[in-house]
Amino acid sequence: MANTKPGKNKLEDKVAIVTGGASGIGETTALSFVENGARAVVIADIQDEKGQKLAESIGKDRSTFIHCDVTDENQVQSLVESTLQLYGKLDIMFCNAGICSLGKQTVLDFDPDLYEKLFAVNVRGAALTLKYAARAMVEGGVKGSIICTASIAANFGGDIYTDYSMSKCAVLGLVKSASVQLGPHGIRANSISPGAVATPMMSNAWGMSLEQVEKAFESTSALKGVLKVKHVANAVLFLACEDSEFINGHNLIVAIITGGASGIGEATARLFAEQGGALMVVIADIQDELGQQVATSIGANKCSYRHCDVTEEEQVKSVVEWTVQNFGQLDIMFSNAGVVSTSTQTILDLDLSAFDRLYAVNARGAAACVKHAALAMVEGRVRGSIVCAASVVATMAGSKWTDYVMSKHAVLGLVKSASRQLGVHGIRVNCVSPYGVATPLALAAYGRRVEEMEDMYAANMSLEGVVLKARHVADAVLFLASSDSDLVTGHDLVVDGGFRIKGKTKMSTNNKKLAGKVAIITGGASGIGEATARLFAEQGGALMVVIADIQDELGQQVATSIGASKCSYRHCDVTDEEQVKSLVDWTVQNFGQLDIMFSNAGIFSSSEQTVLNLDLTACDRLFAVNVRGMATCVKHAALAMVEGRVRGSIVCTASVAASTASTRRTDYYMSKHSVLGLVKSASRQLGAHGIRVNCVSPYVVATPMALAVSGKSMEEVENIYAANMSLEGVALKAR
């Protein structure tokens, strides 16, 4: 019987399902859930013997094993229904089942069959699991939490394992869309993106022992130490908890919090002190009376106050030295002091004097805090944690408050650089980026009451029925400061209730002239493809443009109108690899080379499906064109360029959907995220051959395909989407 005594009962009375729960990350997370008070954990896997043993070790009263192959929709549906029958509800779904690449394929040897096997588990399986969990939560009125296992591979490309990177990008798209769609039901959807972890699956895939795998991974990390499954399980637990207060058994020794006299700083100071593991919290601020009051209310045995103006480096240095002298060391620095813009200035009326004052606090002050905290940690050989307060605007643009937006971007740059530089010392540097919180600073700046501010902010969040409080941000800081985030560094933890993904994404376009090139354009018979074919031909330098499409009549008409000396048409269904290969071979045979591949063929969702009514058959059809077809085009174009020693260019059509979320068309958003993963991987793999791989991500264009889907006229479509763009008086055209 496993030790199931709960720590702080973070998951008290919760019922959870963990797919892929028989080993590795899933097994450790299942045990963590039980240890933290979960009433029941259902382990779902195809490893029956391991799953049964794990469930038995936990105890029949707390755990059940159910065989489930996530590629089979009926089995996933049955898994959720069985859980409801056994335990009456479902609070947490950890979609963790996944597999590694079945081969070390690059885009040059992309194997569609292996791709389909991997996608069936990693993408289709995740979508199915999320779908039925969400349905159960909605029907049961449960404000639950759904967590999917993505990967750091979702954020950058790889030299090999192209299909795996694509699959994890698709998971990211699924989660972003699900978070928007399920927010109104109070259901949270998030993903974790672990780095390389020595799991049994990795050990088997590499043919190495767990120790050998860990040693191999450790050599690639900037941060000393090695990522273990327990670290990933800690992150899952954090996301699974309703209140995010999952921390258990901290080692929070000595912490400094600048700007700690009120707002987020005060909330964090109180939360740190509550954990019981902190020897001392030092509040540093210029609000002396408030700071003293907070320190006194917390207790002299847990908290102390020091005056500190972060614009004065000597004062920052002094507070750090005082802390070390009095308490022996410094483990945590929360650089939280900051100010807001004094006016709603734009770039056109930027007041540089006000700009300088704001930067002195928000950027220069943060840098001083990071610098002196890091010096103390290095000298004291402390594997510490530095957390900076950034903002959601650190990754967005603003129509006003230009100086503030710039300052928070600067904080993000500081954190990324510091995390890389300090990792060799075992020091982690992260930032937390909250959306608007009704702090005293914000209330004074806006001249509003707390209720007014909270209502204004809540209206812009996708997660309904909640109000972002200083305590929620403090929870995130606590996670980043504690040992539960041991392997998290250089990370921007956004706490915004879905504000960013609910917002609008702005887009700009670009083109480039050609000189004596041969180009293939898939999906070239209409819309963006046709406009690109005509533009290429107009440059005068293109030797030949080959239009490839399944719309034969339209394609022939376009090619004829451009002229036989400049353009040719070939039928090509990109879902058929042989047709793509034949297209590329024909082009090279007839025109001697291939310089440009514009992989543009794509389709929209056939319905406005959400994760709750996701049609996997329709999803498969869409992925066959948008993802598999795209990969096939990149593969065979690259093979031709490598063989012909052509330093070519491959361009894929993604979409703004590749970096945003939606309340509908979930399959489309997933597919475009996957294209982004393909491009990132291919660009890395083909760079050695001088081949460039990029994607263009347009906002909606009134193409024939878009008109057919919307059932509206061109003018209507353009007016609808123009209203959502920041650049006024223009309409986005295919040209």
Any domain includes 702: yes
Question: How far out from the chain centre does Cα 197 lie?
Answer: 19
Q: What is the mean pLDDT of residues 632-643?
A: 92
**Paired strand residues for 544:** 518
Q: Are residues 211 and 177 in the same domain?
A: yes
Find the DSSP H helices in 123-241: 126-140, 162-182, 200-206, 210-218, 229-240
**Band (721; pLDDT cuts 50, 70, 90):** low
- Checking if the pLDDT of 249 tops 50, the result is no
Q: What is the pLDDT of residue 76?
A: 97
Any domain includes 735: no
Residue 241 has φ and ψ, to the nearest 5°, of: -70, 140
Number of domains in the chain: 3
As given in the structure block, the two tokens for residue 47 are: 């490893």
Q: Are residues 660 and 552 in the same domain?
A: yes
pLDDT, tens only, 648-658: 999 999 887 77
Q: Are residues 310 and 441 in the same domain?
A: yes
**Band (401; pLDDT cuts 50, 70, 90):** confident
Q: Are residues 541 and 627 in the same domain?
A: yes
- Checking if the pLDDT of 225 tops 80, the result is no
Show Cβ contacts of residue 666 under 8 Å, excluding neighbours closer than 6 positions. Answer: 127, 174, 177, 178, 181, 605, 609, 610, 611, 614
- Checking if the pLDDT of 402 tops 80, the result is no
Domain boundary among 213, 240, 267: 240
**Band (645; pLDDT cuts 50, 70, 90):** very high
Q: Are residues 259 and 209 in the same domain?
A: no
Q: Are residues 64 and 154 in the same domain?
A: yes
Q: Are residues 567 and 675 in the same domain?
A: yes
pLDDT, tens only, 294-320: 999 998 878 999 999 999 999 999 999
**Paired strand residues for 557:** none
Q: Are residues 396 and 343 in the same domain?
A: yes
> Is residue 628 a contact partner of residue 671, using CB atoms and an 8 Å limit?
no
Any domain includes 3: no
Show Cβ contacts of residue 2 under 8 Å, excluding neighbours closer than 6 positions. Answer: 31, 34, 57, 58, 59
| Whole-angstrom distance, CA of residue 190 vs CA of residue 186 | 13
By annotation, the residues acting in catalysis are: 404
**Band (476; pLDDT cuts 50, 70, 90):** confident
Q: Are residues 211 and 320 in the same domain?
A: no
The CATH number that applies at residue 227 is 3.40.50.720
Q: What is the mean pLDDT of residues 436-456?
A: 69
Q: What is the mean pLDDT of residues 201-226?
A: 61
Arithmetic mean of pLDDT over the chain: 81
Any domain includes 616: yes
Domain boundary among 481, 508, 539: 481
Q: What is the pLDDT of residue 148?
A: 92
Show Cβ contacts of residue 239 under 8 Å, excluding neighbours closer than 6 positions. Answer: 145, 147, 188, 190, 192
Any domain includes 113: yes
Closest residue by Cα to residue 635 from 291, 162, 203: 162
Any domain includes 508: no
Among 224-233, 570-579, 688-697, whose mean pLDDT is lowest? 224-233
Any domain includes 592: yes
Maximum Cα–Cα distance for the chain, whole Å?
86
CA separation (Å) from 485 to 480, 488, 499, 591? 6, 5, 24, 56
- Checking if the pLDDT of 682 tops 70, the result is yes
pLDDT, tens only, 263-288: 889 999 999 888 755 468 999 999 99
pLDDT, tens only, 4-30: 333 457 889 999 999 999 998 999 999
Q: Are residues 390 and 472 in the same domain?
A: yes
Report percent pLDDT > 70 for the chain: 78
**Band (639; pLDDT cuts 50, 70, 90):** very high
Q: Are residues 547 and 684 in the same domain?
A: yes
As given in the structure block, the two tokens for residue 189 are: 């959807």
Q: Are residues 347 and 392 in the same domain?
A: yes
Any domain includes 220: yes
Domain boundary among 460, 481, 502: 481
Q: What is the pLDDT of residue 582?
A: 97
> Is residue 544 a contact partner of residue 568, using CB atoms and an 8 Å limit?
yes
Instruction: Show the domain range for 373.
Output: 254-481
| Whole-angstrom distance, CA of residue 115 vs CA of residue 134 | 27
